[in-house]
């Protein structure tokens, strides 16, 4: 179903994206490492899931959002190791891999194999300290061996990979270097929403000494254009067996600006309400989306060094009609707060670009064009400024 709000897994549920799916498949076949990037909710996870949903591959997904915490500048090593083991465990169960990998991991942890297979969190958590960087690499080597023995390709997916930068005490360049050098049946896919930060993470891997010269292929997932968005909504509503008048479609296109995640959420919610005889009101549905962004943005802004300044920068862009140059923004910021120097505004604008809350085109900075992201961001800023004044 097109309007299923979870990330898609099956080709039939994914609208379009033929080109991206082909590119990913081809790269995996050639063992070229990949980074799939694009803004939040554009469909990165879905495109990757669908592309690698193939019996020729053994897939291990490390979903770094599971350790994501906006309040933390750094994550302890143990959070990553725990996620790592859990992800490997899921793959072992899914593909019934067992054998050497399980033996290796339970040996390192000093627990019995059954406890690992059943993923006994209490026992495992107590032993995480025993797991060293080399052991992470060894697990991947074992999985690579198993894959090549089975004539399969091992695909490692690091979803929202920018979070790796925040893990303390693990030498990722050397971890990935080891995979690159020794795991000949393996390929790695990184995805990331905060484009600027993902780029920094990758550059770190590509240029840090042991990884020098290795190139990771980038694939950008773009928003839907207007024609695609319309077709997506019509096909989706058709699948749901729901008639929607043109005015509603037109409104949705205007408000959601081709963000697949919002179109999907809107379609799902609208259909549900119609089917259950409830009032299907686009304003109400949009308000839910705005609320989601508002929380995300508030979490992010509150944990920066100067929440008021970040908020003032965002409000200034809003007051300027949604976009402005550094000069214009600085002027407006200084009418809201006192004495914020231009270099500081510059720094904040670029940080907001890095985490994909705003965009930069030429010398202009832009708030998102879709309403949930724009309004959510602005409301979060107002919340924060009203709290301090
Ligand atoms: N091409 C697509 N066809 C159908 N649904 C999509 C498509 N792209 C994204 N979606 C939907 O949009 C939402 C966000 O997708 P997701 O893959 O989680 O995005 P991302 O990983 O970029 O944040 C999910 O509900 C997903 O089902
Ligand atoms: Mg995702």
Tens digit of each residue's pLDDT, the chain (389 residues): 999 999 999 999 999 999 999 999 999 999 999 999 999 999 999 999 999 999 999 999 999 999 999 889 899 999 999 999 999 999 999 998 878 999 999 999 999 999 999 999 999 999 999 999 999 999 999 999 999 999 999 999 999 999 999 999 999 988 998 999 899 999 999 999 988 888 888 888 877 665 656 688 999 999 999 999 999 999 999 999 999 999 999 999 999 999 999 999 999 999 999 999 999 999 999 999 999 999 999 999 999 999 999 999 999 999 999 999 999 999 999 999 989 999 999 999 999 999 999 999 999 999 999 999 999 999 999 999 997 65
What structural domains does the chain harbor?
17-220 (3.40.50.300), 226-293 (1.10.8), 295-388 (1.10.10.10)
Q: What is the pLDDT of residue 346?
A: 98
Nearest C-alpha neighbor of 359 from the set 370, 351, 348, 368: 368
Comparing CA positions, the residue from 245, 171, 243 lying closest to residue 209 is: 171
Give the β-pairing of 364-366 and 323-325: antiparallel
Asked if residue 380 lies in contact with residue 297, where contact means CB atoms within 8 angstroms, the answer is yes
Please give the pLDDT value at position 206: 77
Take residue 76 and report the two structure tokens written for it: 């302890």
Measured between alpha carbons, how far is 143 from 6 in angstroms, rounded to an integer? 28
60 CB-near residues (< 8 Å, 6+ apart)? 87, 88, 90, 91, 143, 154, 155, 156, 157
Q: Output the 3-class SS for 282-337.
A: HHHHHHHHHHHHHHHHHHHHHCCCCHHHHHHHHHHHHHCCCEEEHHHHHHHHHHHC
Pocket lined around ligand 1, Cβ cut-off 6 Å: 2, 4-8, 14-17, 38, 40-46, 193, 260-261, 264
Q: Which of 11, 24, 37, 46 to mutate to test the pocket of ligand 1 (most atoms within 8 A of CB)?
A: 46
Query: Where are the strands (E) in the chain, listed by range?
Result: 34-37, 57-63, 153-159, 186-192, 217-220, 323-325, 359-361, 364-366
Q: What separation in Å is there between the alpha carbon of 51 and the centre of ligand 2?
A: 14
Task: Give pLDDT tens digits for 237-286.
Answer: 999 999 999 999 999 999 999 999 999 999 999 999 999 999 999 999 99
Q: Strand 359-361 and strand 364-366: pairing?
A: antiparallel
Chain Cα centroid distance, residue 144: 25
| pLDDT for res 99 | 85
Distances (CA, A) of 79 to 75, 128, 137, 164, 267: 7, 9, 17, 11, 36
Which residue's CA lies nearest to atom 27 of ligand 1? 7
Q: Which ligand is nearest to the CA of 162?
A: 2
Q: How far is the CA of 99 from the centre of ligand 2 (A)?
A: 31
Q: Using the mean position of ligand 2's atoms as its centre, give its distance from the Cα of residue 230 in Å.
A: 23
Ligand 1: which of 2, 5, 6, 7 to mutate, most ligand atoms within 8 Å of CB? 7
- CA distances (Å), origin 52, targets 45, 97, 230, 262: 11, 18, 27, 24
- Ligand 1 atom 11: residue of nearest CA: 261
How many CB atoms lie under 10 A from the CB of residue 220? 13
User: Phi and psi dihedrals of 4, rounded to 5?
Assistant: -70, 125
Find tokens 């509150």 and name the residue: 302
Determine the straight-line distance between the first and last CA of the chain, rounded to whole angstroms: 47
Which among 133, 116, 132 is positioned nearest to 179, based on CA atoms?
133
């Amino acid at each position: 179903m097109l309007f299923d709000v979870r990330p898609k897994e099956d080709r039939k549920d994914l609208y379009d994206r033929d080109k991206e799916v082909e590119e990913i498949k081809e790269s995996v076949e050639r063992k070229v490492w990949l980074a799939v990037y694009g803004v939040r909710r554009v469909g990165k996870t879905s495109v990757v899931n669908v592309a690698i949903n193939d019996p020729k591959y053994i897939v291990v997904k490390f979903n770094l959002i599971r350790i994501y915490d906006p309040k933390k500048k750094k994550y302890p090593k143990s959070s990553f190791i725990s996620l790592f083991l859990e992800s490997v465990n899921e793959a072992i169960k899914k593909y019934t891999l067992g054998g050497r990998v399980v033996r290796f991991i339970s040996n390192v942890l000093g627990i019995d194999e059954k406890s690992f297979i059943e993923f006994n969190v209490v026992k495992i958590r107590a032993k995480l300290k025993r797991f060293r960087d080399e052991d992470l690499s060894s697990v991947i080597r074992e999985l690579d061996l198993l894959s090549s023995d089975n004539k399969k390709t091992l695909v490692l997916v690091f979803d929202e990979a920018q979070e790796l930068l925040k893990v303390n005490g693990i030498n990722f360049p050397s971890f990935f270097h080891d995979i690159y050098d020794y795991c000949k049946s393996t390929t790695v896919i990184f995805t990331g929403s905060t484009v600027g930060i993902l780029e920094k993470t990758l550059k770190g891997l590509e240029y840090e000494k042991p990884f020098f010269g290795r190139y990771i292929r980038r694939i950008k997932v773009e928003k839907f254009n207007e024609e695609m968005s319309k077709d997506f909504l019509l096909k989706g509503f058709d699948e749901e067996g729901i008639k929607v008048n043109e005015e509603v479609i037109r409104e949705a296109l205007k408000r959601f600006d081709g963000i697949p995640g919002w179109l999907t959420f809107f379609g799902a919610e609208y259909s549900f309400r119609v089917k259950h005889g409830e009032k299907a009101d686009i304003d109400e549905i949009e308000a839910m989306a705005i609320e989601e962004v508002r929380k995300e943005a508030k979490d992010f802004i509150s944990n920066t060094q100067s929440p008021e300044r970040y908020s003032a920068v965002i409000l200034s862009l809003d007051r300027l009609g949604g976009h402005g140059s550094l000069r214009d923004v600085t002027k407006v910021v200084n009418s809201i707060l006192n004495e914020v120097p231009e270099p500081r505004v510059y720094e904040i604008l670029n940080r907001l670009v890095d985490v994909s809350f705003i965009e930069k085109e030429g010398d202009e900075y832009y708030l998102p064009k879709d309403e949930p992201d724009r309004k959510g961001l602005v409301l979060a800023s107002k919340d924060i400024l009203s709290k301090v004044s």
